[in-house]
Structure 1
Amino acid sequence: MTDDSGCPRAEYPRPSFRRPQWLNLNGEWQFQVDQADSGLERGLLTSELTDRIRVPFAPESELSGVGNTDFLEAVWYRRRIQVPRQWQGMDLLLHVGAADYDTTVWVDGVERGRHGGGFTSFTIELGAAHDFIEVPRTLTIRCRDSHRDPQPRGKQSREYAGRAAHYGRTTGIWQTIWLEPVPKTSFERPRITPDVGASAFHLELPLRGRTAELRVIAELLDGEMVLDRVERAAASDFTTMLDLVVPEEGRRLWSPQDPHLYDVRLHLVSADGTVIDAVESYAGLRSVTIDGPAVLLNGEPVFQRLVLDQGYYPDGLMTAPADQALIEDIELSIAAGFNGARLHEKVFEERFLFHADRLGYLVWGEFGDWGCREPGPAAEDNQRPDAAYITQWIEVVQRDYSHPSLIGWCPLNETYQLRHDRITALDDVTRGMFLATKLADRTRPVIDASGYAHRVDETDVYDSHLYEQDPATFAKLMAPLAGGAPYANGEGKWSVPYRGQPYFCSEFGGIWWNPRATQGDESWGYGEAVRSEDELYERFAGLVDALLDDPLMFGYCYTQLTDVFQEQNGIYFFDRSAKLDVARIRAIQLRTAAIEERR
């Protein structure tokens, strides 16, 4: 949970864009719940706060030391900050991994920035670092998170308690918060695009600040060996573009079997050779393409045996208690025979993607879009997302673009339509998110919405969610894919017609089984619960076989990796302890899928 200094989540939070100097602000902060969101008027901006909290854990969580699970309309954080003297002459950036939902930052009572969105990382410029060297400054943060407003909230419940597939709430800071000194002219996050055909990486290197007479040096390394080095003038339009080539003798493709990563070093230098900025990153050489019904990895059909991962923890809620917990979740999934996951209704922290890159674990990036539904007949289509969804989603794409483990994008989940006679607000946002994703990333498939309603004709992937528990009935419902008319939610009435895209069942199973619990409000799952563990294996095998045996099915996603609170249909218990014979689950999955026989 903490390092030797007592700092929780002390590891570097952004492994794909590293600088040597940084200051972790996790740990104890002053804290106060602002139940009616009246704190600004009541003077909380300039006063000491009454309580304490352990950041980065949300106040609803046990690990925060607060454990308040009531509705929290707003919360306040306060602490003094002072930075090392060697940061003199630098600009100071405040990075927040995630804070839910509407965040405002002040320094000594002066507002420095705002951000909207509970899942996306953001950065606020605090000014010159020298202002924080001699005299400690007071950093104050307010997070508003109304449970009444329609906003992206993922699996967080809008009711007092969790129910069915909705869980507890997360308010305020829930990922690492940290300071970083940067020079006046410095690198912003690089975009690294692998090109297997050219055996190269295309680099886009945006810069902040003045670029006159500066040069960029980029190096590609495999261990200590420099494979390529490019030096050129920094572009005057603030984005320098260059290629790093992998020589044939050093070429290794990234895959689940060999998740090889190359190191990337970047230097920004002045005319006399002085290093202005230096950062480190990494890259994996791999391709994701579509060939008829198949999604290919490096030109080969790899059946995607995905699991639905909610990313919740009993003591930390959406925040992993330790970095090791992220690693162990991936290892538990691989041990059960899965080769990847849908990171479901939540934007996972960057370190999860870093470990997926290292371990060869395939992931689909997804937005926590649930929360836009408005109850009652007055709502035109029962869902009212707005432009904020597109804005926040593109922040996700920008952050995670360069991770080789990420092989597809899923902006929305389980949208549905109640109007068929005209375009609705949801249609506009669905299409906007799809088009924005395609503009931001031409290298990965994009599904317009997972399950229920496909509203974009050009969607790269078509799918369905089906929790039918009888394997024979499940196979019968999936069978029409062979005739070009696959199963679609809503009897196909919600969606645009299927036009031959790669197809998979992106949610199925959810087999309800928990020998520790009695069925009822505290134990929920899909369909009729199995009566024994042996019956679970039989049902699991029947459902999986129906998909593995289909030569037009490129993958599946089983619900789910772990139990989560009352939703008790996981491969493991919520505390990650053994629930099933994982070897049996693995053996059922790992036989060759029909689509893999195309090799």
Structure 2
Amino acid sequence: MTATAAQPRPEYPRPSFVRDRWLNLNGAWDFEIDQGDSGLERGLVDAPLSGTIIVPFAPESTLSGVANTDFLEAVWYRRGVQVPQAWSGQLLLLHIGAADYDTTVWVDGTECGRHRGGFTSFTIDLGPADHFVRAPRQLTIRCRDSHRGAQARGKQSRDYEGRAALYGRTTGLWQTVWLEPVPATRFERPRITPDAGSGAFHLELPVSGPAAGMRVVAELLDGTDRIDRADRLVATDFTTMVDLAVPLAHRRLWSPADPHLYDVRLQLISAGGDVVDTVSSYAGLRSVSIDGPAVLLNGERVFQRLVLDQGYYPDGLMTAPSDQALVQDIELSLAAGFNGARLHQKVFEERFLHHADRMGYLVWAEFGDWGCREPGPSSGDNQRPDASYITQWLEAVQRDYSHPSIVGWCPLNETFQDRQDRITVLDDVTRGMFLATKLADRTRPVIDASGYAHRVDQTDVYDSHLYEQDPREFADLMKPLADGAPYINEGAKWSVAYRGQPYFCSEFGGIWWSPGGVQGADSWGYGQAVRTEEEVYERFTGLVDVLLDDPLMFGYCYTQLTDVFQEQNGIYFFDRSAKLDVARIRRIQQRRAAIERG
């Protein structure tokens, strides 16, 4: 692996699909803001750029060295790239963790590839690595990110400044950029499906390039012990299926109590016996299933005490300043008594999921689409979804399928129907995202749309968002499931009927507390702000008790882990420093054994 201590975010960015050789391109790049999106016409593909930026931080962030929070219609990046002599004879792949929103890549003025979508990882084939060995070549990247058009934005504000639960914008490169040499015939990302019942892993191993006569060798390791090995000819359809069994003596189910991981090693062997490609991965043996109103982990009820995690940082915005910052967020959540999170309105970087895997942290993965709606005649159409939502979401599911920490998928969040008298574009996209997710993954539950907009009657999970702050009113609205249909807010106007699925309140709380006092636009939260810290604990206790006392509720998700800019309703301050008595918050959630069902 290649990175330097001086680089920001030097760690390997793809821990579930590892090759030894790579080159981290984070650091200083030439940079220019293209406010009128006219750079292509003005020759910025090969003309000098006027400034510099620190990648992988967005230009709106302070860590980028730019800190420009205006509307940035387009931005340009350039740097010279030269690779080691040892990479000769390989193909060169450019990997971009995420870039917002519409990205084009050129090498020495020749276009190499494009990608649309601000949250998902993508790869551009730059051709033979030999071209980059002999002399540096100029790599140019343009990212276009209009604030006016229809696109998935998550929590990014369309206004100049953030307000309420919307924050500032992220433009351009905001996750690690790196190079990888690969052979002409190579593994693509494996899909690893755990089978806890039989104690095995089912591997789907796609291979690209000519593979006649080649074999795949797969090994499963538990620590230093090799516990199974398979040797298969590469399938004629170039996706080889391999099963690896876990002997009883080594069988440990992945769970929050024991997040055990097995190592997986893969080799591609030529017909002549040479090793063509080698990659490593890992896997957790666990199952997620539904039994009536219960969501089961390894066949047992595990009450999901989730927290809403926005994944924002004061200095990096959507980009964590360090790998340790990702670990810290999970540690802070666990310390407060939560056992997982909704990764809210953002496709989190893969290293967060890696840490969740190894720390036993339950995750509901989402797409960043808040504000997605079917507008009425006077609402305009700049929030209407299109087919790109399905494409981008499937890129996220494909990347993250093998992470054991993910226990559910949430394609959409709080969608809104102004018209209930016809099938809409939003209906088509909602159904398309749900069905595509179910086809891509039969092993996890899928919510059609979190909140108050259930439009797909086959949705695996039904949920609601309720920010009522009075615990008595909250209890009246969030009546026990045994009493009849669940609470669904105004979404009852357009949602399909509840049919007994597992149900949870997936957003509640958001208790507005600012120790320095609530001050206009600088502070926002849900409902009436509390006056003292003691009131926070009283309100938190009352709200949590309502949900813990319902035996049919499989979990909840409290808003939220940290304050975020003006939204001051976190368990912690935005800088992750102590805001509340975390031990007390933990005791409130865990003080009765009855809440740990099963």
Deviation at 1:593, TM superposition (A): 6.8
Question: How far apart in 2 are the matches of 1:67 and 1:517?
Answer: 28
Question: How far apart in 2 are the matches of 1:495 and 1:149?
Answer: 28
Contact 2:3 2:23 (C-alpha < 8 Å) held by counterparts: no
- 1:27-176 residue pairs with structure 2 within 5 A? 27-176=27-176
Deviation track 1:390-410 (CA, whole Å, cap 9, x = no partner) reads 000000000000000000000
Question: How far apart in 1 are the matches of 2:4 and 2:108?
Answer: 31
Contact 1:150 1:373 (C-alpha < 8 Å) held by counterparts: no
Q: Which amino acid aligns with 1:229?
A: R
The equivalent of 1:409 in structure 2 is: 409
Contact 1:374 1:382 (C-alpha < 8 Å) held by counterparts: no
Q: Which amino acid aligns with 1:451?
A: G
Question: How far apart in 2 are the matches of 1:407 and 1:480?
Answer: 24
Q: Secondary structure at the match of 1:202?
A: strand
Contact 1:549 1:593 (C-alpha < 8 Å) held by counterparts: no
Deviation at 1:493, TM superposition (A): 1.3
The equivalent of 2:352 in structure 1 is: 352
TM-score (norm 2): 0.98
Count of equivalent residues: 597
The equivalent of 2:424 in structure 1 is: 424
The equivalent of 1:304 in structure 2 is: 304
Question: How far apart in 1 are the matches of 2:564 and 2:491?
Answer: 30
The equivalent of 2:264 in structure 1 is: 264
Q: Which amino acid aligns with 2:170?
A: T
Q: Which amino acid aligns with 2:436?
A: A
Q: Secondary structure at the match of 1:413?
A: coil
Question: How far apart in 1 are the matches of 2:559 and 2:573?
Answer: 13
- 1:426-465 residue pairs with structure 2 within 5 A? 426-465=426-465
Deviation at 1:343, TM superposition (A): 0.2
Contact 2:502 2:554 (C-alpha < 8 Å) held by counterparts: yes
Unpaired segments of 5 or more residues in structure 1?
none
- 1:489-568 residue pairs with structure 2 within 5 A? 489-490=489-490, 492-568=492-568
Contact 1:219 1:230 (C-alpha < 8 Å) held by counterparts: yes
Q: Which amino acid aligns with 2:529?
A: A
Q: Which amino acid aligns with 2:61?
A: S
Residue 482 to residue 383, structure 1, CA distance change in 2 (3 Å) = farther
Contact 2:93 2:182 (C-alpha < 8 Å) held by counterparts: yes
The equivalent of 1:293 in structure 2 is: 293
TM-score (norm 1): 0.98
RMSD between aligned residues: 1.4
Contact 1:373 1:382 (C-alpha < 8 Å) held by counterparts: no
Deviation at 1:553, TM superposition (A): 0.3
Q: Which amino acid aligns with 2:159?
A: E
Question: How far apart in 2 are the matches of 1:275 and 1:371?
Answer: 49
Contact 1:357 1:404 (C-alpha < 8 Å) held by counterparts: yes
Q: Which amino acid aligns with 2:226?
A: V
Contact 2:371 2:415 (C-alpha < 8 Å) held by counterparts: no
Question: How far apart in 1 are the matches of 2:55 and 2:491?
Answer: 47
Deviation at 1:482, TM superposition (A): 1.5
Question: How far apart in 2 are the matches of 1:186 and 1:574?
Answer: 43
The equivalent of 1:335 in structure 2 is: 335
Contact 1:57 1:316 (C-alpha < 8 Å) held by counterparts: yes
Question: How far apart in 2 are the matches of 1:562 and 1:287?
Answer: 30
The equivalent of 2:199 in structure 1 is: 199
Deviation at 1:211, TM superposition (A): 1.0
Contact 1:382 1:418 (C-alpha < 8 Å) held by counterparts: no
Q: Secondary structure at the match of 1:474?
A: helix
Q: Secondary structure at the match of 2:432?
A: helix
Contact 1:465 1:506 (C-alpha < 8 Å) held by counterparts: yes
Deviation track 1:441-489 (CA, whole Å, cap 9, x = no partner) reads 0000000000011000000000000000000111111115212310012
* Identity %, equivalent residues: 77
Question: How far apart in 1 are the matches of 2:466 and 2:593?
Answer: 20
Contact 2:375 2:384 (C-alpha < 8 Å) held by counterparts: no
Residue 46 to residue 563, structure 1, CA distance change in 2 (3 Å) = same
The equivalent of 1:184 in structure 2 is: 184
Question: How far apart in 1 are the matches of 2:129 and 2:269?
Answer: 21
Deviation at 1:517, TM superposition (A): 4.2
Residue 182 to residue 192, structure 1, CA distance change in 2 (3 Å) = same
Q: Secondary structure at the match of 2:521?
A: coil
1:240 aligns with 2:240: yes
